[in-house]
Amino acid sequence: MEPIQIGLIVSGFMLVTVILGMRVAFAAGMSGLIGLVWIFWSRRGYDPEDFLWALSVAVQTAGQVPHSKISSQALSLIPTFILIGYLAYHAGLTKALFVAAKRWMAWVPGGLAVSTVFATAGFAAVSGASVATAAVFARIAIPEMLALGYDKRFAAGVVAAAGTLASLIPPSAILVIYAIIVEQDVGRLLLAGFIPGVFSAFVYTTLIIGMALTIKGFGPRVTGFTWRERFESLPPALPIVAVVVIIIFFVYNPFGGDAWGTPTEGGAIGAFIVFLMALYRGMRWPALRDALLETAKLTVMIFTIIWGVLIYVRFLGFADLPGAFADWLTSLEMSPMLILIAILLAYAVLGMFMDAIGMLLLTLPVVFPAVMALNGGMNVTAEASAFGMSGPMAAVWFGILVVKMAEFCLITPPIGLNCFVVAGVREDLTVQDVFKGVMPFFIADGITIALLVAFPIIVLWLPMQM
């Protein structure tokens, strides 16, 4: 049997195990090991005496993967980004953000929901995890919206959808993972996510204001805040701004010249600043312990997924499945734009059954080389070439599109993780309530993705300044 056939069979087996409920890390790791044994054994003609040899070589090959990849300096960004978010929460900075957003934005139609989106976007700028963002604001924002008369399903939907902004707005753990898997510059990708993330927030707020203007009794305004109260709400939220500025300056120096440092150093300094602020605001050992434990748990979960998937990726390399898929895709008599749209729609369907990180880790080793092969790997689409998109810029553009699809999958049934988190935090909500509440935001995300595809400059303008 040819290696490509083995690759297809083992990949199909892995997808079945994932759909049946096995964790992605274990399904990928097990499938990768089985595939490696199969390929090595097939090279010896399936001689029974050589099976143990094939197993030994496969185990050695798989064993080299975790250390060689996890020791990458870029992955050290993930725990620092996650730690920033948990420290900010325990320091009370999230509450300060919400208060500031409410005093400045609650006067517009649907003001409290709009305030929630902006506060969540602000917290996303110091938290690399969408799930943590959704959990935090489910405790802070939903009670206030319910007290003002919002429908509980819509209030939950606002929090679940706005929580996905942490996937794009830097620092973003999932963008770091994408950069490592496809071997692209982490700093450029983090910069590229900033404008699309803010753009997504504005699309959400436009949707909310439109609903408030057209639906009677929906989203009442909150008035009565004086200018003094508004300006007094800003200083407690300034540490968030400081962390964002520091991370961006370390990635890209807007004053010209070399950057101040690497994204890893920026993340570490950002975590240290939030730690000092947390101590200043009275954080004690129990809260610090909880922040460290939650960071460790989430980091270990992400790293475990990466370990398992990288074993599977090593098997794909031996099976030459990425190359075969790229050859097939480029042979299609279709425009690159139609192929790209088909790939994004496939991600939307796949995201209904898999978590975002696992989905990207499993598909990118096959899909990314194929996408880069379109039009010689230089210009993914004719539209993008008008902006001088080179191969690396095409990789950045595709990365933002894929991560935006991963955001979309965080709120799609039946696996939408953010919806489960919000329902788990609020005892008065079911998962079905949250899924119903996020339905309007499907439209908003669809519009955002369409605009990012049609106008690549939204994604590329900032990283092209590097």
Distance from C-alpha of 454 to C-alpha of 170, rounded to nearest angstrom? 23
Please say whether the beta carbons of 249 and 260 come within 8 A. Answer: yes
Q: Residue 436: exposed, middle, or buried by beta-carbon count in 10 A (0-12, 13-18, 19+)?
A: middle
Task: Please give the pLDDT value at position 347.
Answer: 85
What's CA 104's distance to the chain center, in Å?
Answer: 28
Q: What is the pLDDT of residues 92-126, one digit of tens each?
A: 777 888 888 888 888 888 888 899 898 888 887 77
* C-alpha to C-alpha distance for 53 and 44, rounded to whole angstroms: 10
> pLDDT by residue (tens digit) across 373-416?
775 444 444 444 444 455 678 888 999 999 898 888 888 877 77
Structure tokens at 259: 């950057």
Encoding tokens for residue 365?
């080793």
- The count of other CB atoms within 10 Å of the CB of residue 313 is 21
H helix or E strand, kind and range, residue 3: helix 3-19
pLDDT at residue number 382: 46
Entry pTM: 0.80
Contacts of 27 (CB under 8 A, 6+ apart): 14, 17, 18, 308
Residue 120 · residue 102 · CB < 8 Å: no
Nearest to 303 by CA among 31, 21, 79, 126: 79
Question: Tokens 């802070």 belong to which residue?
Answer: 140
Q: Which two tokens stand for residue 226?
A: 């004086």
Scan for tokens 């199909």, then name that residue: 12
DSSP string, 61-90: HHHHHHHHHHT-GGGGHHHHHHHHHHHHHH
Residues of the chain whose pLDDT is less than 70?
Answer: 66-74, 128, 251-259, 353, 375-391, 466
Separation of CA 125 from chain center: 12
- Cα distance between residue 91 and residue 272, in whole Å: 13
> Residue 69: what pLDDT?
65
Among candidate residues 375, 361, 372, the one with its CA nearest the CA of residue 325: 372
